Structure 1
Amino acid sequence: MDNRISRPAICIPLADDESAIGYFKRLADINVVDPKDLVVSIRCNTSFAKNLQPILEENKWIEFSIAHHNMLVEMSKLNFKHLSKQLKYCPLCLQEGEVWQNGWHFLCSAACIKHAVWLLDACQYCGKTLSLTHTSFHHCRSCGFDMRRATSQAQKCPEEVLTLQCFLEGKPLPSTSMPLLWTDFSELTLEERSEVLQLFARFQPQPDGSLRQVYKYLSNKNSAKVCLHEVAHSLFGGYVGLWNYLYALKIFDEGTVSSRFTKFYRTFYNLCTHACFEPYKEVIEQFINNHWHKALSKRNNLFASKTIQIHPWVPLQQACRMYGLSKRTLRRAVADGMLTGKVEKKACNTSILIYKPDIERKVIRLKDVLNATEAATLLGVTKAQFKQLRDAGTFKQFSAPEADYCSTWQFSKMEIESYMETVLWHTAVVQSDYLCIPDIMRAYGHKCENLLSRLLKAVEANELIAKQFSAKPSVRSLAIKKSDLLHWLDTTLPTDHHYSVPRVAKLLGVNQQFTYELVHYGLLHSDETDHGYDITDEHLMAFHIEYVLLSKLSKSTGVNSRNLIKNLMDYEIYSVDKDWPVKLRQKVYRREDVEALEWLAEL
């Protein structure tokens, strides 16, 4: 297509910051012709820069060059949403005989940088909006009013609005401004700068709760001035301006289902990837740590790791791991008002968030607080017996339930442990070389039929010497010296007392892999041989005395394994060791831990 036009009688060069459509209107005004007579069949709409640039390039007398007219080249690449269909102008510039500036044509344009005044977008005589295509260089097409005479209507604009215009046009910011954008933003394209301004305009809270239709809103002369002033304060008003903008989003979100604040920061992070926006991200993340009552995790990959680490709200389970407290303790503390908690509802579940600074201030006290059931379990007595001790004034540090403070009795773990030491320090410990009847039956009952009856007959015949562990006589209280027992068993049980891991797995009723893990982690002792592991009766007996399998507990209590694990966790009976594999931790427990629980006392 031939884009060359007839050279007019009076030729003028294209000024450095002059818009393409403004140039042809100025050229027509000087030659006293209609602009359409100069550029035939060229549509001067919102794509005027893209349509007119080829003409500027092919007609050498216009003196167009990319070096001097770089903004015009950038404008030719813009989507229509960044450009205005209306003319915005500075009457002071027109009065001084200057040209239409490229910076007047952007949708987010607000001010004249040279004169620091608001741009006008309507005829000051008839009040009609000035269209790009139906306005001559100096006069309103409707009434013929000379736009140069509107200087009395030019009003000074705030410093922040002037900064906004400089940012949009890619010019140095005023030295008196105090934005967060201190670093060089020259790496941003014109489109990126316009996108940022439109982003802040779009997310400003609307009374009806909807997002702004930016093009429609900024095309209205009454609303555009207010909107752009708010955008300028938010983006170029320093720390306070951005903080107020974020706070307005948060207040607007209260009581709504969807979060405008969330949509804003996600859009901002995805759009503003350049280094010059890092100060803004720091303020956003600081605001989140101050006002965002939701949990953060590594899935929030937009934020810095430091922001996630110092975020004050943590889920209940994470708080348990961080501070070594049980879920029961934290739930009770939240219910009693000791900790600040918040319920977070998601699609399929509900979780509790806890304010981390509260835990850090009270963690020592939380670890020391026990309810009556936990205190009785620690002391090794029943709840009724513990009540007797409490009523007798044995404990000094406790608090009774109160309606507005605590729903349960609270006792000091340190005092309970101190009392136990006081009572038990002078008592003799049962010698470790004696085994009671229940321990013997657990270790050897499966190897010999009718072992109990044969054992009692041996005691009656004085073949084995027995003692009593309890003042109350019972079969369970009988204890036999380990060396005498092993000697007697040598004559009673088969002579083959050495077992392989597969054989032990069958005896215990578990799979071989699990048995190997018991041996590997030292729960089941063994002797290593050239052919593998060698496990003796003494090793099996030691295992049965010290540990109990989950399957045996489940069978004895009639409680399924899943519920049994949950109950044991509620009593802080977690496992043999927290560093061991999960399956091992959930299937093996120390016998002394579970036997201390009242509801498992009969095992």
Structure 2
Amino acid sequence: MFGLLINPQPQSDESLLGYLQRLAGANGLAGDELIKAFEQAEAGDIAVWFSRFEPPVSWSSVSEELRKPKTKALKVWSLRHKRYCACCLAESAYWKETWDLTLVTTCSLHGVQLQDRCPGCSVKINHGAMLANSCKSCGYLLTEQIVEIPAADSHSAWMTTALEARLSKNFKLGNSGLDALTYEQLHVLSSRLAVRSVRSESTKPLKVAGSGSLEVSRHLAQAAGQVLMNWPRAFRDLLSDLRDARSDGKDWKLTSAFGSIYRDIHHDLEAPCFDFVRSEFESYVKDAWQAPLSKRNRYLSEKTIQDHRWVSIEEAARLTGLLRSFVERLHDHGELESREIAHSSGRKLKVVDVALLRELSLRMQGSVNMRQAAKLRMRPAKSSTQPRKAKTWCALKFKWAPVLAF
């Protein structure tokens, strides 16, 4: 495609941008000039060029991003902001494809944070630094270190390892859950969980200023890794934290209680590969949501709505077949656990645990009230013989319990 004399083979995990810079350097060209030529090339010419060697997994996706940049707020690839591991550059002298991923902020090989500034002059590095692995401002070699590199935290390191594994040609997707996600799908899930974790009050679209920069990416990678490496417990903790942060006494609606993450889970993550996220959310609602669920909710399953424990007193009476007045008396006597839900209009609604009411209802089957018990005492025995009469009273004694006082 370029008609160059020297065409070195790319490394199996080499960055496309890094290879273009290395190719330019081998032929005495300016790196930016070759990158511009690649961006303006026809798709067919690029496909033919790729067919001459076996390109790394990322090149097809990165090629599209270079030639037709997407407008998404949180992109999979951060191509404008360069980052690197000085130890890797010193050992292998090429830029790795995973360093271009937005949520990769650590080096899995050396266990340190990636860098995006020149150790000599602290200027942020750009594409030009990839040509000779040196700072374009001061000429400092990026393979040398004059300061200690911070160690990677466990959450960001987990995020890096998970994404790197999916870029390997030998990686095999699992059948379900996180193991079934590609690196692009994992990025989509991770970025949404991360943004909702660090911006719990935000109801705006998924936007984070400077998300491609290493400084911001570190926060996002750490937040996402914290949730995903401890799935599903940490996800449930996140849901509880989001609800607590938004609690204002009127959080009986799921949309108002959980904010944007509720839409993320059921609308923006609607692909079948994210079914396990929705399933875990419904499990959380079943266990922890102590308010009524709307029967018209189109996101929750019918079973979750029907089996939900917390309902109004009127609904509890209908579901159990008991009189409403009787349910109210149980509530007033403290036999039923209840919650008070405030509507935006100011109206208040009492809800009770229908599962507990069902248990009480089962225990009351066969019970008699005081008037019925009195009638049983006055019922004559069928036999006039004394032994038969004693046996009848003995049998009746066990039939009286339990006796209701209502």
Native 8 Å contact 1:205 1:211 kept in 2? no
> Alignment partner for residue 326 of structure 2, among 329, 344, 356?
329
Cα deviation for residue 232 of structure 1 reads 0.2
> Alignment partner for residue 126 of structure 2, among 131, 136, 139?
131
Task: Indicate the SS of the match to 2:126.
Answer: coil
Say whether residues 1:17 and 2:13 are aligned partners.
yes
Native 8 Å contact 1:92 1:151 kept in 2? no
> Alignment partner for residue 116 of structure 2, among 96, 105, 121?
121
Alpha-carbon distance in 1 for matches of 2:135, 2:257:
42
Native 8 Å contact 2:31 2:128 kept in 1? no
Per the normalisation by structure 1, the TM-score is: 0.51
Per the normalisation by structure 2, the TM-score is: 0.73
Native 8 Å contact 1:202 1:211 kept in 2? no
Q: Within 5 Å, give how 1:197-346 maps onto structure 2.
A: 197-206=190-199, 214-216=207-209, 218-255=211-248, 259=256, 261=258, 263-272=260-269, 277=274, 279-296=276-293, 299-346=296-343
CA 15–31 in structure 1, closer or farther in 2 if over 3 Å, else same = same
Q: Which residue type is aligned with residue 264 of structure 1?
A: I
Task: Indicate the SS of the match to 2:110.
Answer: coil
Partner of 1:555: none
CA 17–291 in structure 1, closer or farther in 2 if over 3 Å, else same = same
Native 8 Å contact 2:155 2:221 kept in 1? no
CA 34–285 in structure 1, closer or farther in 2 if over 3 Å, else same = same
Task: Indicate the SS of the match to 1:218.
Answer: coil
Alpha-carbon distance in 2 for matches of 1:420, 1:334:
29
Q: Within 5 Å, give how 1:139-218 maps onto structure 2.
A: 139-150=134-145, 153-169=148-164, 171=166, 183=176, 188-206=181-199, 214-216=207-209, 218=211
Task: Indicate the SS of the match to 1:122.
Answer: coil
Partner of 1:7: 4
Q: CA RMSD of the aligned region, Å?
A: 3.9
Say whether residues 1:34 and 2:30 are aligned partners.
yes
Cα deviation for residue 140 of structure 1 reads 2.0
Task: Indicate the SS of the match to 1:70.
Answer: coil
Cα deviation for residue 340 of structure 1 reads 2.3
Alpha-carbon distance in 2 for matches of 1:223, 1:107:
10
Task: Indicate the SS of the match to 1:203.
Answer: helix
Q: Within 5 Å, give how 1:386-535 maps onto structure 2.
A: 414-419=369-374
Q: Which residue type is aligned with residue 69 of structure 1?
A: P
1:39-77 deviation per Cα after TM superposition (whole angstroms, max 9, x unaligned): 55666xxxxxx97976644547x9344xx4332113345
Alpha-carbon distance in 2 for matches of 1:265, 1:165:
26
Native 8 Å contact 1:339 1:355 kept in 2? yes
1:454-508 deviation per Cα after TM superposition (whole angstroms, max 9, x unaligned): xxxxxxxxxxxxxxxxxxxxxxxxxxxxxxxxxxxxxxxxxxxxxxxxxxxxxxx
CA 189–365 in structure 1, closer or farther in 2 if over 3 Å, else same = closer
Gaps of 5+ in 1: 44-49, 174-180, 369-411, 427-603
> Alignment partner for residue 105 of structure 1, among 94, 100, 103?
100
Q: Which residue type is aligned with residue 417 of structure 1?
A: Q
> Alignment partner for residue 52 of structure 2, among 36, 56, 63?
63
Native 8 Å contact 1:107 1:215 kept in 2? no
Cα deviation for residue 166 of structure 1 reads 3.7
Alpha-carbon distance in 2 for matches of 1:191, 1:56:
22
Partner of 2:387: none
How many residues align? The count is: 362
Alpha-carbon distance in 2 for matches of 1:114, 1:54:
36
Alpha-carbon distance in 2 for matches of 1:247, 1:262:
12
Native 8 Å contact 2:177 2:276 kept in 1? no
Greater strand percent: which structure? 1
Task: Indicate the SS of the match to 1:314.
Answer: strand
Cα deviation for residue 415 of structure 1 reads 0.3
Partner of 1:532: none
1:152-194 deviation per Cα after TM superposition (whole angstroms, max 9, x unaligned): 6444424543332243345289xxxxxxx88476764543222
**Higher relative contact order at CA 8 Å, sep ≥6: structure 1 or structure 2?**
2
Partner of 2:403: none
1:388-433 deviation per Cα after TM superposition (whole angstroms, max 9, x unaligned): xxxxxxxxxxxxxxxxxxxxxxxx970033335667x69xxxxxxx
Q: Which residue type is aligned with residue 370 of structure 2?
A: E
Alpha-carbon distance in 2 for matches of 1:42, 1:147:
26
Alpha-carbon distance in 2 for matches of 1:185, 1:140:
39
Cα deviation for residue 301 of structure 1 reads 4.7
Gaps of 5+ in 2: 169-173, 381-406
Alpha-carbon distance in 1 for matches of 2:323, 2:294:
21
Percentage of matched positions with identical amino acids: 20
Cα deviation for residue 231 of structure 1 reads 1.0
Native 8 Å contact 1:182 1:276 kept in 2? no
CA 39–225 in structure 1, closer or farther in 2 if over 3 Å, else same = closer
CA 118–27 in structure 1, closer or farther in 2 if over 3 Å, else same = same
Task: Indicate the SS of the match to 1:295.
Answer: coil
Q: Which residue type is aligned with residue 130 of structure 1?
A: I
* Mean Cα deviation higher: 141-150 or 130-139: 130-139
Q: Which has the larger radius of gyration?
A: 1
Alpha-carbon distance in 2 for matches of 1:343, 1:133:
63
Cα deviation for residue 234 of structure 1 reads 0.1
